[in-house]
Structure 1
Amino acid sequence: MATTSQQREDGPIRSTMVAVGLAAFGILASQFTVLPALLLDPAVITSPLDASIASRTLLLTLNFVGFVLAGAIYLAATDRGWSYVDLRPPTKQGWLYILAGVLGSIVFYVLVSVIVQLLSLPSAGNSVMTYIGDDQTMVLVMIAIVFFFNAPAEEFLFRNIVQKRLYDAFSRVQAVVIASAIFALIHVVSYAVSESLLATVVPVVVVFGGSLIFGLLYAKTDNLFVPIAAHASFNALQFGLIYIALEYDLEAADSSAALLVDLAAAVPL
């Protein structure tokens, strides 16, 4: 459904500033929600792979809880309430959108893999991998986290709150692009440790493209379940590929497989 002029209550500058502020608030909130994990086991920060699986799981889970907290505070502060959340069981058409989103993400991911290989582009790894290393059990834990915490939390804040908030001043397509740009930019910190600017830019561009896909799913369906399901399924496929690579040592067996695994580790959650 297109956004009408009557629905555009704010100017584009104010709406964009609010959207950026919400994203920043989500990041800030996550710094507080992870504190229990840090207090219980400081090794999750100083030496993540030496920390227990339970500690790493708690840290990653609480990180995404921060996004939900930020969105909940915004809904309460603006009197929008939980009725503002567009979460309901998908229709048959909704399931088709989910399938299209997963397939579209895979195609996009493969295209990026080919381009990176052809142009010999560097790509920094995702900071989440510092909590996984070569631990296959942790890879399986991450699959559960993306379904129950990662995808629901990110889609709630960046689609149902940030993107929907942008509908007040922009068309839906414009809102999808702006929300995706904001989502991509907050991931810069995950890759900024790389010594190469290009290695940082490549995965950020990738997450922007993926975010466009999930944003369009939400814009088309007005149902938060749809991008959550597509997002979680795609991330689960990422970690499934990493698990298979660790199990069968694919990186050592074939250079093309190694590239796919490296990109799976680089593509943001």
Structure 2
Amino acid sequence: MDTSSSVRDGSPLVTTAIAVGLAVFGIAATQLTTIPAFLMDPALLTSPADASIAARTALMVLNFLGFALAGGIYLAATDRGWAYVDWRTPTKRGWLYVLAGIVGSIAFYVVVSLLIQTLSLPTTENQVMEYIAGDQTMILVMILIVFFFNAPAEEFLFRNVIQKRLYAAFSRYQAVVVASLIFALVHVPAYLAATGDLLSIGPEALLASAVSLAVVFGGSLIFGYLYAETDNLVVPTAAHAAFNAFQFGLLYLALEFDLEVADPAQSVVVDLVFVLS
């Protein structure tokens, strides 16, 4: 399964630069694809919580379509075409990997949540929370979005395009690590912006960003491994979607039980254990 060095035909530096460029291109594409949502409801710019559910939904959907668009443009520009996309019904072995990915990602989530609670580590609030704003209806909408737009688009760009492109210069598992690092790093601006004034970021804010990025990196390693093992985009996509749905499900329960939670990756697991036991 591993790509041997004898068939690698790319420079690690150049290949990594291309991969980073693809990630940046994906982020840039989302800035264009989301414009209609902001035109639909300008409140998204200043007060996302006050925007209509329709506008918030459109923003999320168009954001993830930006990733898909970027990946599609790359495949067209390089003459790879849609035959390059590893989208097919999983075999029995593939579905076992999906199950393992779901269990593994949830276990990772629980362990990380417990560590964050035990060590009292700070984390940065996910920007998605600004658009949910404690609205349980929006949470249910987000569960649909992660299945039909979020997981498919992110896995397509970061696994089937970026990680697969890295195979030209790295072994499969090295490519998983590099792609996951890129996936985490593209979150840096958002996490730093969420800490407040970028010119006066303190040690605690930097630690919070680092903890959140480590969580993103760890989750990406799991989904990247699933793709490396199966060469089937459906496998990491299904596991990713189920994992994100699990997170939003916990958040829904947290609001239902009126738990005080700042971010679904912080203390929801611990609090719900006590509430539901």
Q: Cα RMSD between the aligned structures?
A: 1.8
Whole-angstrom CA distance in 2 between matches of 1:45 and 1:38:
7
Supply the distance in 2 between the matched residues of 1:209 and 1:263 (Cα, whole angstroms).
23
In 2: Cα distance, 1:77 partner to 1:223 partner: 23
**Residue correspondence of structure 1 range 183-198 to structure 2 within 5 A:** 183-192=183-192, 193-194=194-195, 195=201, 196-198=205-207
Report whether the alignment pairs 1:210 with 2:228. no
Match of 1:107 in 2: 107
Give matches, 1:157-196, under 5 Å. Answer: 157-192=157-192, 193-194=194-195, 195=201, 196=205
Map 1:128-167 → 2, pairs under 5 A: 128-167=128-167
Question: How far off is 1:106 after superposition?
Answer: 1.0
Match of 1:259 among 264, 267, 276: 267
Q: Deviations over 1:197-249 (max 9, x none)?
A: 11111111001000000000000000000000000000000000000111111
Structure 1 vs Structure 2: percent identity of aligned residues?
67
SS at match of 2:267: helix
CA 199–183 in structure 1, closer or farther in 2 if over 3 Å, else same? same
Deviates more, 1:237-246 or 1:185-194: 185-194
Q: CA deviation at 1:107?
A: 1.0
Q: Measure the CA separation in 2 of the matches of 1:260 and 1:83.
A: 41
Q: Does 1:66 align with 2:75?
A: no
- d(CA) in 2 for partners of 1:206, 1:117: 14
- 8 Å CA contact 2:259, 2:271 repeated in 1: no
The residue number in structure 1 matching 2:258 is 249
Structure 2 residue aligned with 1:33: 33
Name the counterpart of 2:124.
Answer: 124
Aligned 8 A contact 2:113 2:270 in 1:
no
CA distance in structure 2 between the aligned counterparts of 1:258 and 1:4, rounded to whole angstroms? 40
Report the Cα offset of residue 251 of structure 1. Answer: 3.2
Any stretches of 5+ residues in structure 1 without a counterpart?
265-269
TM-score by length of 2: 0.90
Aligned residues: 260
Whether the aligned pair in 1 keeps the contact of 2:123 and 2:209 (CA below 8 Å) is yes
Retained in 2: the 8 A contact 1:245–1:261? Answer: no
- Distance, in Å, in 1 between the alignment partners of 2:87 and 2:266 is 38
Displacement of 1:190 after TM fit? 2.5
Q: Which amino acid aligns with 2:172?
A: R
Structure 1 contact 166–175 (Cα < 8 Å) conserved = yes
Moved over 4 A (4+): 261-264
User: Does structure 1 retain, via aligned residues, the 8 Å contact 2:2–2:171?
Assistant: yes
Structure 2: unaligned runs, 5 residues or longer = 196-200, 273-277
Give the equivalent residue in structure 1 for 2:233.
224
Deviations 1:28-74 (A, max 9, x none): 00000000111111111211111100000000110000000000000
What residue is the counterpart of 2:14 in the other structure?
14
Give the match for residue 267 of structure 1.
none
